[in-house]
Amino acid sequence: MKAIGIVHKILPDDLKGSRHQRFIVKLKDNQTVLIIHNIDISRKIHDLRIGDKVEFSGEYQWNSAGGMVHWTHKDPHSKQKGGWIKHKDRLYN
């Protein structure tokens, strides 16, 4: 999935196992999507704020809450296409 959204909510980082930065974006059609960004593989977005625009690409998985996007980073084993997040003209992958 590749899309653009507005940061709607910032959740605490998930620090169990592989660490992940988590936040919810609202898409143009008002659907919300949870972004799960691995910060052991990619850099954390330290200046992320509610209302910020983000572009992202990753693997989408549907759920009843709107879905989630993960693999927003390079695959360290080069087995699948990597994703990315773009925030304030910086690329996080």
CATH number of 71's domain: 2.40.50.140
Average pLDDT over residues 78-83: 81
Question: How many domains are there within the chain?
Answer: 1
At residue 12, the pLDDT reads: 98
Q: How does DSSP classify residue 76?
A: T
pLDDT score at 81: 80
**Residues 42, 37, 30: CA angle, nearest 5 degrees:** 140
Q: What is the DSSP letter of 18?
A: S
The 3-state DSSP class for residue 90 equals strand
Q: pTM value?
A: 0.91
Q: How confident is the model at residue 75 (pLDDT cuts 50, 70, 90)?
A: confident
Residues 4-23 have a mean pLDDT of 97
Q: What is the pLDDT of residue 93?
A: 92
Angle at 72 between CA 64 and CA 7, to 5 degrees: 60
Range of the domain at 86: 2-92
Burial class (CB in 10 A: 0-12, 13-18, 19+), 72: buried
